[in-house]
């Protein structure tokens, strides 16, 4: 009789502890993937700024980001021309901002506990002097 009570208590303890342990495990995975995605977006912005600093066009910047993140994933804003539409002179800063909706790069693993990154974005800005 005592063994049955112990097994029942063990089952109840497992029932209470398992969701918490699962949530911690999934939170660790989601956070790790988020950090990796943030690093990828930062690298894409840096590489795109390098392309722009070497005289690349807006299409070259777009292609550079697409190589890092895939096609049609990111929104890219770049400042490659002055107010008149002329290319920036050598020595002026070129700016590239890459923005990606988080859900495109990070799976939603914690939805079952009500945590979601769906409305957020990962954004990176890189500035380099034009050569």
Burial class (CB in 10 A: 0-12, 13-18, 19+), 118: exposed
Q: How far apart are CA 43 and CA 125, in angstroms?
A: 10
pLDDT, average across residues 35-60: 95
Question: pLDDT tens digits, residue range 4-16?
Answer: 667 777 788 888 8
Domain 2-129 of CATH type 3.90.550: no
pLDDT, average across residues 38-46: 97
Phi/psi of residue 95, each to 5°? -125, 135
Sheet harboring 121-129: ordered strands across? Answer: 75-79, 93-101, 121-129
Question: pLDDT tens digits, residue range 85-94?
Answer: 888 889 899 9
List the domain boundaries for the chain.
2-129
User: Residue 12 has what pLDDT?
Assistant: 82
């Amino acid at each position: 009789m005592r063994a049955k009570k112990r097994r029942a208590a063990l089952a109840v303890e497992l029932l209470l502890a398992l969701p918490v342990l699962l949530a911690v495990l999934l939170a660790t995975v989601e956070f790790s993937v988020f950090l990796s995605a943030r690093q990828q977006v930062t690298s894409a912005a840096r590489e795109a700024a390098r392309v722009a600093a070497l005289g690349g066009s807006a299409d070259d910047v777009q292609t550079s980001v697409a190589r890092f993140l895939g096609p049609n994933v990111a929104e890219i804003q770049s400042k490659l021309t002055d107010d008149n539409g002329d290319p920036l002179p050598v020595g002026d800063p070129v700016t590239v901002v890459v923005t990606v909706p988080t859900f495109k790069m990070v799976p939603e693993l914690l939805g079952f506990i009500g945590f979601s990154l769906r409305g957020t974005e990962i954004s990176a800005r890189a500035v380099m002097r034009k050569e």
